Amino acid sequence: MRRSSEDTKAAILAAARERFAADGYERATIRAIAADAAIDPSMVMRYFGSKERLFAAAADFDLRLPDLTAIPRDRLGATLVAHFLERWEADEALMVLLRTSVTNAEAAGRLRVIFAGQLGPTVAAPAAGPADAARRAGLVATQVLGMALCRYVLCLPPVVEMTRDEIVAWLAPTVQRYLTAPS
Amino acid sequence: MRRSSEDTKAAILAAARERFAADGYERATIRAIAADAAIDPSMVMRYFGSKERLFAAAADFDLRLPDLTAIPRDRLGATLVAHFLERWEADEALMVLLRTSVTNAEAAGRLRVIFAGQLGPTVAAPAAGPADAARRAGLVATQVLGMALCRYVLCLPPVVEMTRDEIVAWLAPTVQRYLTAPS
DNA sequence: TCGTCATGTCAACAGGTGTTGGCCTACACT
DNA sequence: AGTGTAGGCCAACACCTGTTGACATGACGA
């Protein structure tokens, strides 16, 4: 065979991640993705069924949050911020989700599930109850997603120019307070 | 005449703001906007020239930041957060900009200009110099835009359920620190 | 050696998009 | 009453989209 089925599928998926991350759901066309993967558009349909299912496959990922119970309580903020920055720059799946979830309802739902389902329980330990934990997770999301938005999507110059350490230094106290301050 | 030229123009602009805010740039079609304004699509072209220029007209607005020099220094954070919440819920122009700037480069540039050009100088007073002011404005933008993203676009439930006062109470210290903490 | 099947291409469909130009029609003015 | 014109509609253009089905072609097992 010219290429293994799995290889092509992986190539399509990689191209899809790049296009979705760069252009968002609507402007990332199946034709462009197929061209990037050096394959016919119809193969994308054969392997993934539809554009929506291709997107679902491309946006499938995990926050891989560290076990926060092993972290000293006063280091929670810095640990979380550093982890998010690293995770964000490591692969493009988060970028895909953020870019698309602004115009695509399904992607927004997925982001909701991720931040409620993965961040919520992780921060539950310091919180006073389920509702309090959810609210604290939400507050952390506003700061962390806002940073990602400004740094990676909008590219606000002063935010782009900050080093990773500077960002951690500025944001860690914020996140720390959202997690541990008495409500 | 059936309608004054200015009236139709205003109707188109209102419909465009609504559609751009709800669907983003790509999915908001001229045909749909024209239908909302009860007019033929070709009239949109006649009045605004092109979809891009219609968008530019719809996204033209002002942050209307208050004069921060008149505010006591320790109230800066609370004042700014409250003002942004109010501004965000008052009209749809900010929503238009946020939704579109994620996939539309021109809109992102406009957001950059607004937050650098309007927020930057306003916070310049407490800062130590132009570069420092820009960085502080950027940090404020991450928190404020992140809140708008989570509350109005992604609709994260815990963030949506918070009252305006609760949001001010949680975010004000963050913004206050970004503005006035020694770097 | 031959047939089978996975891998891949080509061409086309049906629908939607921004955009254009020609035509109509109701009003205001002479 | 006649006419000019501003306001509006219609039909079409050229292009792009996701999606489909018919056809090719390579590699492998019998």
For B3, other C-beta atoms within 10 Å of its C-beta total 11
Query: How many of the other CB atoms lie within 10 Å of CB of B57?
Result: 16
Task: Give the model confidence (pLDDT) of B6-58 as tens digits.
Answer: 999 999 999 999 999 999 999 999 999 999 999 999 999 999 999 999 999 99
If one counts every other C-beta atom within 10 angstroms of the C-beta of residue B72, the result is: 7
Q: Which tokens go with B105?
A: 């480069």
pLDDT digits (tens, 9 = 90+) for A42-95: 999 999 999 999 999 999 878 788 887 888 989 999 999 999 999 999 988 899
Amino acid at A1: M
**SS3 for B16-56, per residue?**
HHHHHHHHHHHHCCHHHHHHHCCCCHHHHHHHHCCHHHHHH
Burial class (CB in 10 A: 0-12, 13-18, 19+), B177: middle
- Residues A174 and A143: their CA atoms lie apart, in Å, by 8
**At residue A128, does pLDDT exceed 80?**
no
Task: Give per-residue pLDDT as tens, A143-155.
Answer: 999 999 999 999 9
**pLDDT reported for residue B124:** 77
Residue B134 has pLDDT above 90, yes or no: yes
Rounded to an integer, what distance in angstroms lies between the CA atom of residue A78 and that of residue A83?
A: 8
Looking at residue B101, the DSSP 8-state letter turns out to be H
Q: Position of tokens 């970004």?
A: B178
pLDDT at B78: 97
What mean pLDDT, rounded, does chain A reach? 92
Structural contact between residues B115 and B87, judged by C-beta atoms closer than 8 angstroms:
no
Could you tell me the pLDDT band of residue A39, with boundaries at 50, 70 and 90? very high
* Per-residue tokens: B88: 């965000």
Q: What is the pLDDT of residue B1?
A: 60
Q: What is the pLDDT of residues B88-133, one digit of tens each?
A: 999 888 999 999 998 888 889 989 988 888 888 878 776 678 889 9
Out of B142, B154, B158, the one facing A111 most closely (by C-beta) is B154
Residues 21-40 of A with CB under 7 A from strand C: 38-40
- d(Cα A135, Cα A138) in Å, to the nearest integer? 5
Give the residue from B41, B153, B122 showing the smallest Cα distance to A98: B153
Residue type at B106? E
CB atoms within 10 A of CB B37: 22
Distance of CA B33 to the CA centre of its chain: 21
Q: What radius of gyration, in Å, describes the C-alpha atoms of chain A?
A: 18
Number of H helices and E strands in chain B, helices first, is: 11, 0
Nucleotide closest in space to B40 (CA vs C1'):
D9
Task: Say if residues B180 and B126 touch (Cβ distance below 8 Å).
Answer: yes
Residue B129 one-letter amino acid = G
- CA-CA distance, B37 to B168, in Å (whole number)? 37
% pLDDT > 70, chain A: 98
A1 pLDDT band, cuts 50/70/90, is low
Span B64-81, pLDDT tens digits: 888 877 889 899 999 999
B146/A141 Cβ within 8 A: yes
Q: Which residue in B24, B139, B159 is closest to A142 by CB distance?
A: B159
Rounded CA–C1' distance between A32 and C3, in angstroms: 37
Token pair listed for B93 = 């122009």
**Segment holding A113, helix H or strand E:** helix A105-114
Q: Of all nucleotides in the shown strands, which has a C1' nearest the CA of B42?
A: C19
Residue A45, CB, less than 7 Å from strand C? Answer: no
Q: Are B152 and A142 in contact (CB under 8 A)?
A: no
| pLDDT given at position A133 | 92
